Structure 1
Amino acid sequence: MPTLSQQIADFLTGDIGHRISAPVQALVETAFIDTAGCILSGRDEPVTRHVLAWLDRRASKNSEASVLFSAHRLDAVAAGSLNALSGHALDFDDVALAGHPSVVLVPALLAEEELSNLAGSALIQSYVKGYQVWADLLQRLPDPLHEKGWHPTAVLGTLGVTAAICAARGVSPYIAAHALGIAASQAAGLVANFGTMTKPMHAYWAVEKGMNSVDLAQLGITASMDALDGPTGLLTALSSSRPPERERPFSGLESLRIETVRPSIKKYPVCYAAHRAIDGVLNLRADHQLDATAVKRVHVHVSPTNRKVLKYARPQTPLEAKFSMQFACASALVYGEVSLHRLSAASLSDPQVIRAMDVVEVHDDERACPLEPTFAFADRVVIELADGTRVDSGDIRFARGHAALPLEPAQVEAKVLQCVPPEQRDTAAEIVMRLRRMLRGSDRSPPHFDRGSLCH
C-alpha cells in the first residue's frame, strides 16, 4: 500500500475542479478577502516592521512578489512569509482545523500567483488541497496539539502550504511526496510563545518552510516516503502514548473537508478561544443595560485547554491582551466592544478596565465539543451585580462569525475596510474587488498598487 505521503501526492497532482462547488468557491473567496484585510491590519505592527527590515538587509535581487499590498517587492518566499506574518500579527485571521489555515495558505498562493501567473481556478484548487491535507493530518492525531504545546498553524500549516504550492506548480507525484517529507522535518511552533512577537512568526515560518520544501524537492533533495505515517514519522512525533491513525487511506479521495469544516471569520481581533465569552458579555450588557461599575463578578466557563491558552490574567501589553480572557471580557463590559482600537496601552491602563479584569473568574467546563476539540461543547457567562442580581448567558454554542453563524459578505468587506485608516479605505476596497475578479478569472492583474505603498 502506498505511504500517506504518496497518497497525498497523487491527490495533489490530480484535477479536482469538478468537485469545487459554488459554495466552496464562495468560501475560498471569502478566505482570500478576509486574509487580505488581516494582512493590511498588521502592516504597522512592530514585528512586521522588524522582519521587513531584516528581509531588506538580506534581500536578493529577485523582486518576484509584492509585500503588504504595496509597491515594495521581495522574492516570492520572503513576500509570502512576510504577508503571512502581517496577517497573523493582530490575531484577526480566520479559524478552522484547530488553527489559522487561510493566513498561511492565502499569502503563499498570492506570492506564487505573482511568480507563476496562476489562473483563479488554480488558486481555488490549490487552497482546497492544502486545506484538505491539513484536515486529514489533524484527524489522525489522538489528542489536541494545543494540549501538548504545539501550535497547529505552525505545525500542520507547514504541510498545508507545501501541499498547496505543490498543487499550484503542478509538480509530479514524486516531487510532491519528497516535498511533504522535507516539510515534515521542519514543522514546529510552540503555544508557549502566544502573546509575543514570535507567535505571528509561526505563520511566517509555515509559509517559508512550506515553499522552500517544494523548491528543495524540485532541486532533487529527497526525503523518506514514510516521513508522515512511519513509526518514526511526524504523526508519531506529535502523538502522546496513544498512537496516531496510520492505516486509514487519505481522505481527499472521499470528500472535501472544507465542505463540512468551514473556516470561521473572526469578529474580534483576539484569540478565538475568547470569542464565545465576548458574545456572552456583549449580549448581557445590552440586554440588561449593565454598568461595569455595578458588576461584582464575571464567571466565564470554557474548556480547560482554552483557559490555558488564554494565560494572561493581567496583561501588560496589547499582545498579551490578545490572549487574556480577563481583558476580552473587561473590554466588552466597559466599552461595549473588543476592537483593534481597544487593543492599546491606553485601554490596559484604564482604571475601569483594570477593575473589570480583576473581577473576571475563568472556570473549566469539561464537556467536549465534537466539532472543535479544544473547545467545550458550549461556553457560558454569568455576571453577578453588586445588588445580588445574577444574569446568565446560558450555553453559547458558537461565536458570531463561526461557520455555523457566518458573517455576511458585506460584513466581511466591512471588516477589511476597518483594518486600514479612513483615507485608505478606497484602496482597500479596490484590493477586495481585484481579488474577487482574480479568483473568478476575469482579472489577471495582481491585487497590489504600484502607484504607492500602503505602508505608512
Structure 2
Amino acid sequence: MSLIETVLDLGTLPRSQMPPHSLRLARLSLFDWAVCGRAGTREPLSAKLRELAVHEGGHPSASIFGGGRYPARMAALVNGATSHALDYDDTHFAHVGHLSVGIYPAALAVGEETGADGQSVVEAFLAGAEAAIRIGVALGTAHYNRGFHQTATAGAFGATIAAARLYGLNREQTRAAIGLCATRASGLKSQFGTMGKPYNAGIAASNGIECASLARMGFTSCADGLNGPQGFLPTHTDAAVPDLAPVSAFLFDDVKYKFHACCHGTHAMIEGLLDTFAAHPASLETVERITLRTNPRWLRVCDIPAPATGLEVKFSYRWLAGMVVDDRATGVDTVYTDALAADPSLADFARRVEVVADEGIDDMQAAGEIEMRDGETLAFAHDLARPLPADVLEEKLLAKAKALIGTEAGALQALIHDLDDMDAGAIGHIIRDAA
C-alpha cells in the first residue's frame, strides 16, 4: 500500500483497532504535553505569541496556555510553540522529531471547536502521531540532515490528520488536506537555539488546522501530496520510501519522554554518566577527561562547543557533561540561564570533553570513557531504546511535572485517569487554569 493510502487509513482507523497500550501512552503524552505547556508559559516567546493572539482576536473557540480562548488555528500556534519552549517534550527517534507539541495543539483546538469528547481527542492525536511517524520514517535522516526540522514538516501532516479526523472529513477531503499540507509544511533546523525552534512546532499545529479547514470547505489539491510527482517526499529527501509496517502495528509505542530539560540527543550521554557516577562519585577536580562517542547526526544538533546563552547550553554535550560531573540538576528548566553559559568552571571542564562521531552508535545510544586523575578509566554507555513499563513512566512523568509546575501537577494528572469523563472543553479548562 502506498504511503498516502496508509496515512488515509490511519485517519479513519476505528477506536477498536487502536492498540490499548498505544492509547495509554497517548494519554501519558497528553499529560506530559500539558505539563510542558504550563511550564512554558513563563518563557518570553510565549508572552509574545499570546500578545499576537490578542492583537488578531477572532472567534474564541479554543484554549491557550496562559489563559484565554482564541480561534482554533491561533490557539494551535500558541500552544504548539509554548509547549516546545522548554524543549522538554516527548521525542520519537524513528520520526526524528517531537510528536505531542505539533499534534496535540491541533487535536485539542479542533476538539474544543467541535465539542469532541476527551477520548476522541486522544484518538485523533494517536492517528496523527502514527501518520507523522510513518512520514518521518519515509523522509528519513536525509531530510533531517539536509536541514529540515521533522517536528514541523512530518509533524504538520500528523496535525492535519488529527484535525481532519475531528472535523469528520471524508477520505477524499482528507486527501485534499494532505495535499494542501504538502505545500504548507515547513521548518528548518537553522532555528535551533532561538525562539524559532519552538515556533516550528506551533507552525505544524497551525498548518494542520488550516489545511483541514480548507479541505472541509471544498478546497482542492493534488491527489498525492506526499509521494506524487513533485510531492513533498520527492522534493524534500533523496531517500527511497521504505517498506512500512501494516497499520495494525503501531510505531508510536517507541515514543520517548524527556527527563532532562535539554536536547534529547544528549540524554543517552547524561543517563550513562549518571549511572557511572552513582557507582563511582566524581567531581570537576577528579575527572581528567571524558570521551563521548555519539551518532554523527547529533554533531549538527547538540554539539555547541561554547554556548553563549542558557538556551544554547541545552544543545551542548560539553556543558551538560560538566553539569552531570558537578552534580547540577539537568531536569529543572530554570537552571539553563545565561549565567550558566558563562560559568568559568564549566567552560574550563568543557575543554576536557571530546565528542567523537561513531557510525556504529545509533541515535538513541551513547558510549564513552571517563579518565580519572588517579589513573582509573571508567566506561559508560546508555541506550534510550530500552523500554520502561507504563506505570514507571507515569511515576517519572509525575516527578518531572512536580519539578516543573509544583502543585499544578496533581490537577493535570487527571488527564490520564479521568479522561473518560471529560470533553475537550474540560481539557482546555485544565490547560488554562490548572491549580
Q: Cα–Cα, structure 1 residues 120 and 72, in superposed 2: closer, same or farther, change >3 Å?
A: closer
**SS of aligned partner of 2:258:** coil
SS in 2 for 1:363: strand
TM-score when scaled to structure 1?
0.88
* More displaced 10-residue stretch of structure 1: 92-101 or 229-238: 229-238
Q: Percent identity?
A: 24
Q: Which residue does 1:95 correspond to in 2?
A: 91
How has the CA–CA distance of structure 1 residues 403 and 31 changed in structure 2, closer, same or farther, with 3 Å as cutoff?
farther
**Aligned partners of 2:432 and 2:230: how far apart in 1?**
50
Structure 1 residue 40: Cα displacement = 1.2
| Shift in alpha-carbon separation, 1:404–1:367, aligned structure 2, 3 A | farther
Counterparts of 2:250 and 2:171, CA distance in 1? 20
Contact 1:159 1:183 in 2 (8 A): yes
Gap change, CA 1:310 and 1:179, over 3 Å in 2: same
SS, match of residue 92 in structure 1: coil
User: What is the match of residue 113 of structure 1?
Assistant: 111
The answer as to 2:366 corresponding to 1:389 is no
1:419 and 2:404 correspond: yes
Counterpart in 1 of 2:132? 134
Q: Distance in 2 between matches of 1:253 and 1:389?
A: 51
Report if aligned partners of 1:334, 1:356 keep a CA contact under 8 Å in 2. no
Report the equivalent of 2:356. 363
Q: Does the 8 Å CA contact 1:304/1:366 hold for their aligned counterparts?
A: yes
Aligned letter for 1:414?
A
- Relative to structure 1, the CA distance from residue 128 to residue 450 in structure 2 (aligned partners, 3 Å threshold; closer, same or farther) is closer
Partners of 2:130 and 2:431 in 1: CA distance: 37
Which of 330, 339, 345 is equivalent to 2:338?
Answer: 345
Structure 2 unaligned regions, length at least 5: none
Contact 2:31-2:415 at 8 Å conserved across structures: no
Amino acid at match of 2:251: R
Q: Give the match's secondary structure for 1:382.
A: strand
Look up the match of 1:67: 64
Instruction: Show the counterpart of 2:155.
Output: 157
Partner of 2:426: 446
Partner of 1:33: 31
Deviation track 1:94-143 (CA, whole Å, cap 9, x = no partner) reads 01121101112212112122111212332232122112211222333354
SS of residue matched to 2:334:
coil
Partner in structure 1 of residue 306 of structure 2: 314
Task: Return the offset for 1:251.
Answer: 5.3
- The C-alpha deviation readout for 1:159-180, integer Å capped at 9, x for no partner, is 0000111111211112101000
- What residue in structure 2 maps to residue 284 of structure 1? 276
Deviates more, 1:312-321 or 1:135-144: 135-144
The amino acid of 2:337's aligned partner reads: S
Give the match's secondary structure for 2:151: helix
Structure 1: which 5+ runs fail to align?
Answer: 370-374
Kindly indicate whether the alpha-carbon contact (under 8 Å) linking 1:3 and 1:225 is maintained by their aligned counterparts in 2. Answer: no
Measured after TM superposition, the shift of residue 403 of structure 1 is 3.9
CA change 1:343–1:169 in 2 (3 A) is same
Aligned-partner Cα distance in 2 for 1:144–1:362: 22
8 A Cα contact 2:62 2:428, kept in partner: no
Residue identity in the other structure for 1:67: I
1:316-372 residue CA offsets vs partner (Å, 9 max, x unmatched): 111111111112111111124312232122322332222222211100111153xxx
CA contact (8 A) 1:331 1:338 kept: yes
Moved more, 152-161 or 222-231: 222-231
The answer to whether the aligner puts 1:432 opposite 2:410 as a matched pair is no
The code of the aligned residue for 1:293 comes to E
CA RMSD of aligned residues (A): 2.5
Residue deviations 1:263-293, cap 9 Å, x none?
1110101111100101122222221110212
Q: 2 CA distance for matches of 1:323 and 1:187? A: 25
Partners of 1:295 and 1:135 in 2: how far apart?
A: 40
CA distance in 1, matches of 2:106, 2:133: 18
Q: Is the 8 A contact 2:302 2:317 kept in 1?
A: yes
CA distance, structure 1, for counterparts of residue 266 and residue 140 of structure 2: 24
- Once structures 1 and 2 are overlaid, which stretch shifts more, 26-35 or 47-56? 47-56
> Counterpart of 1:372?
none
Check the 8 A contact 1:65/1:111 in 2, yes or no.
yes
- State the Cα distance separating 1:408 from its structure 2 match: 2.8
Indicate how the Cα distance of structure 1 residues 444 and 435 shifts in structure 2: closer, same or farther if over 3 A, else same.
Answer: farther
1:398–1:405 CA contact under 8 A, matched in 2: no
Is the alpha carbon distance of 1:435 and 1:285 closer, same or farther for their aligned partners in structure 2, counting shifts above 3 Å? closer
Amino acid at match of 1:155: T
SS at match of 1:300: strand
| Counterpart-to-counterpart distance in 1, 2:140 and 2:24 | 32
Return the alpha-carbon distance in structure 1 between the equivalents of residues 101 and 417 of structure 2.
17
* Deviation digits for residues 75-94 of structure 1 (CA, Å, limit 9, x no counterpart): 11111221111111111000
Tell whether 2:347 aligns with 1:354: yes
* Cα distance per residue 1:6-27 (max 9 Å; x no partner): 55335423x4211223312211
